[in-house]
Amino acid sequence: MATASQQFQDALGQLFEDNTFSDFVVECGPKTWHLHRSTLKIHSPYFKALCTGNFEEAKNQKVVIKDKAPEVVECVLKIMYHGPSDLRILVDMLLNLHPARNPFITWIEVHKCANYFQIGWMGKGIIDDLQAYAEAALSPQDYSWKHILPSLTAPEGPCEGRTVQSFVEGVKHAINVYGADTKTDLLESLAGICAIHLPYLMVSRCWNDLQKDVEAHLFTTRVISLYFWGSTTPLLSKQLQIMHACWGCSCQLAVQQAPDFRVGQDSKIVQRYCSFCLPIIQQWLAAPAPAEIATDEVSDDMSNLSMDDGH
C-alpha cells in the first residue's frame, strides 16, 4: 500500500496528463504539452523567467524548445511533476522505449536538459541514479564478465566488451557536452566511476583511444590520479576477487598478476592474463582499430540531439 507521501506525489504527477486547468504550452518538435505555470516556475528558474518576464513566451503563454530531443524533454517534464522518487522509473521507461540507443548517452542528455531548465534538485538526482545505473551495468552479471572484458576468443578476432564500450562512449559524450576542463558534478561522478573500474577500462581499445584524445586528456588524467592517489571505494577489490581466473580464457593456471600499489613510483594496475592471452591483448591494444572511423560515426550520430532510432 502506497504511503501518504507517495499518494500525494502521485496526485501531483497526474496533473501532467490533465490539461483541464493548464495555462502554459510547451512545444518541442512534434510534441506539445499543456502544463501549469505555477508548477513550472516553482521548479525551474528558466520557466519562471519565461512565464513572468517581458518575453513573447509570457504574452503568448507558450514556449518552443529547440535543439532538444522531444522524448528527453518529455521525460524531464514528467520528472518535474512526479518528483525525485519517480526519477529512475521515468528514465528507465525512456531507455526501454529506445533500446537501440546508448543508455549512458541518454542519461547524459536527460541531465543536460535538466540543466538547461535549471532544475537543481533534478540534476543532482540524475547524477546519483546514473552512478547507481553505471555501477550495476559495469558489475559482473551472474559471475559473467563477457559484457565487461574484451573477448579474445571470438571467431572474428578480439572485440570490446559491449557495456564498457557503451560506457566510454557515454563518457566521451559528457566530455563533449561539458568540456574536460570543467569540474561539473556530473564529470566528477563519471571520473569516480572510471577510477573504480580502471583495470577493466585499461584493457579496452575505446578507453585507450579516449586517453589519446586531446580534448579528453584532462579527464583521463584525473581518473588515473583518483585511482592511484584518491579514495576509491572497495567495490573494485571485491569484484576482482570474484575473477581469479585469466581475463581472456578463464583458465586457472599461470595467471600473470601485477601487484596493485596505490602509492609510489612502482604503482601498477591489477590485470590478470595467462601467458597465452597476455600477448594477444597487448597486440590488440597496440594495433589501430580497423573499425575506428565507423565507430566514431555511430557515436556522433547517437549523440545527435535528435537522437534518431536508426542505430
Which pLDDT score, from 0 to 100, does residue 298 have? Answer: 30
Which pLDDT score, from 0 to 100, does residue 234 have? Answer: 47
Where in the chain are the domains?
Answer: 1-137, 144-245
Which pLDDT score, from 0 to 100, does residue 15 have? Answer: 76
Measured between alpha carbons, how far is 69 from 137 in angstroms, rounded to an integer? 24
Express each pLDDT in 66-86 by its tens digit: 999 999 999 999 999 999 999
Query: Please, are residues 196 and 235 in contact by the beta-carbon 8 Å criterion?
Result: yes
What are the average pLDDT values for consecutive 10-residue runs of the chain, which has 311 residues? 70 78 92 94 94 88 94 96 93 95 97 96 97 90 77 84 95 95 91 89 92 92 85 50 68 52 42 82 78 33 38 36
Which pLDDT score, from 0 to 100, does residue 292 have? Answer: 39
pTM score, two decimals? 0.82
Which pLDDT score, from 0 to 100, does residue 287 have? Answer: 77
Residue 5: other Cβ atoms inside 10 A: 10
The end-to-end CA distance of the chain, in Å, is: 41
Which pLDDT score, from 0 to 100, does residue 69 have? Answer: 96
Query: Please, are residues 86 and 75 in contact by the beta-carbon 8 Å criterion?
Result: no
Question: Distance of CA 201 to CAs 56, 64, 248, 256, Å?
Answer: 49, 41, 14, 18
Fold for domain 1-137?
Potassium Channel Kv1.1; Chain A (3.30.710)
Question: Distance of CA 175 to CAs 59, 148, 171, 184, Å?
Answer: 37, 22, 6, 10
Express each pLDDT in 27-42 by its tens digit: 999 999 999 999 999 9
- The bridge status of strand 24-28 relative to strand 62-64 is parallel
